[in-house]
Amino acid sequence: MASAMCLLAPATPALAQYLDPLPSRFPRDRNVDTLVPGYEAPGVPLGPFIMTPSLAASALYSDNIYAQEANATDDVALRIAPSVKLQSIWPVNKVAVNLTGQFDRFSTLKRENAERFDADVTTLLELSSDTIVRSRLRWQRLQEPRSSQNAFVQTLEPIRYDMTSSAIGLSHDLNRIRLTGEAAAIKTNYFNGRLQDGTALDTRGRDSTALTLRGRIEYAQMPGLSYFLQGTYNDRDFRPSLSATPQRDSTGYEVLAGVSFEPSALMRGEIGIGYLAQNFKDPFFHDYGNLGVRGRLQYYPTRLTTITLEADRRVEDSGTPLSGAYLSTSLSIKAEHALLRTLIVTASADYQADRFNDVDRDDDRYALGLRAEYQANRVLSFSASASHLNVTSDGLDRYRNFSENRFMAGISIRR
């Protein structure tokens, strides 16, 4: 069972990450479903709700825990991940509460031990058959991976941070036109760390509050074809640092025009192309402006297979003190196949190009992954995965080049 925790370094918030997707305008749904009919967790009825507790235990191995360029250190860890989900069963309107924990305990490198928490509440309110209101409130305690592009120095322990987010969205259908407005506020607070020599590392300058607003208009020419115009605005405010580093406050926008399509039962997708920009208030940092791209394509060659391609470009806040941000371009492909009714195998390949502003640094990240999950019955499942990450950093201000191989095997119990 895949973990519900987000373990990556925080990226610039995208509204799609914080609000559940709207009901599709297309009636088909052919993607490989990991919830096999008859194997759903039974849950515990609590009046108008169903409670689904679960407990996952995994063994994890990494051959480069510290993401070092040379003299890599390996270790094994035990990961325990309890969770409980409370889901309404009303015929209309929905409320869901998710509480998750993740605890890592390493065999040798005790400083890498971690505790992560996630508390999440989502709602969907149907004001009418044409009007839907979605909302979300979430709090997370996370840990920055050693492999993060924002981990610009080696600390004694990984940097921890809290992320609090709230979002709301309103959509209304007018015959063939769908109007959508969304807003999100995200506050991130970092805990100070210590360098290898014990010196305190002040992370105050990374604390931030980000506001994101998005509007979208979509016109459906036919059931399998629609066109959209979308605009997004963001305002990012950073806490003043105790050091002499410049303030990274900025505002930005993205405008995309595109098409959403499903020409047959074999394919569906959405592609948007436009322009994005990020403007900094401090003249020390240079402004960004570049081509904006966002796309997703799903192909179903058989009833047992789903192939997904995704592309995205955005301006991310940089953890490097003298860089205001970096332009991140990502491409990914994922194939899911049901070898058996209860055995799902997933293979993935990802590429990410990070071009840092105001410093001479270009990073390229390549990742490969393979995962298998077997659903023994409605309560018990087993999983195993392997992944490879390769990072190259070039330029006068480059960080480091490294690679990491990870292996995991686990068991999950649901009620």
- When pLDDT is cut at 50, 70 and 90, the band that residue 7 belongs to is very low
| Beta-bridge partners for 216 | 180, 230
Give the H/E segment covering residue 86.
strand 75-88
The pLDDT value recorded for residue 149 is 84
Residue 11 reports pLDDT greater than 50: no
Longest Cα–Cα distance of the chain, Å, equals: 65
Residue 308 reports pLDDT greater than 50: yes
- When pLDDT is cut at 50, 70 and 90, the band that residue 246 belongs to is confident
Helices first, then strands: H and E counts in the chain:
1, 21
Amino acid present at 162: D
The pLDDT value recorded for residue 15 is 56
Instruction: Answer yes or no: pTM beyond 0.85.
Output: yes
pLDDT in tens, 322-373: 888 999 999 999 999 999 889 999 999 999 999 999 999 999 999 999 999 9
DSSP letter for 19, please.
Answer: S
Question: Which pair of tokens denotes residue 415?
Answer: 């009620």
Which one, of 163, 54, 164, 160, lies nearest residue 99 by Cα?
A: 54
- Cβ atoms < 10 Å from Cβ of 35: 9
What stretches of 152-288 show up as alpha helix (H) in DSSP?
none
- When pLDDT is cut at 50, 70 and 90, the band that residue 154 belongs to is confident
The pLDDT value recorded for residue 17 is 64
pLDDT in tens, 378-407: 999 999 999 999 999 999 999 889 999 999
Angle at 334 between CA 295 and CA 1, to 5 degrees: 120
What average pLDDT is seen over the chain? 90
Mean pLDDT across 69-76: 95
The pLDDT value recorded for residue 61 is 98
Burial class (CB in 10 A: 0-12, 13-18, 19+), 17: middle
The pLDDT value recorded for residue 249 is 93
Residue 240 reports pLDDT greater than 50: yes
Residue 410 reports pLDDT greater than 70: yes
The pLDDT value recorded for residue 9 is 36
| Beta-bridge partners for 402 | 391
Residue 212 reports pLDDT greater than 90: yes
Alpha-carbon distances of 66 from 158, 282, 341, 406, rounded to whole Å: 9, 34, 39, 13
| Contact (Cβ atoms closer than 8 angstroms) between residue 22 and residue 180 | yes
- As a 3-state breakdown, the chain gives helix, strand, coil percent values, each rounded to 5, of 0, 65, 35
The pLDDT value recorded for residue 174 is 93
d(CA 357, CA 328): 11
Alpha-carbon distances of 48 from 44, 95, 122, 311, rounded to whole Å: 11, 10, 16, 40
Q: Give the residue carrying structure tokens 């149907």.
A: 126
| Contact (Cβ atoms closer than 8 angstroms) between residue 371 and residue 352 | no
Among 53-67, 231-245, 305-319, the least confident range: 231-245
Angle at 360 between CA 272 and CA 162, to 5 degrees: 65
Q: Which one has a higher pLDDT value, 315 or 151?
A: 315
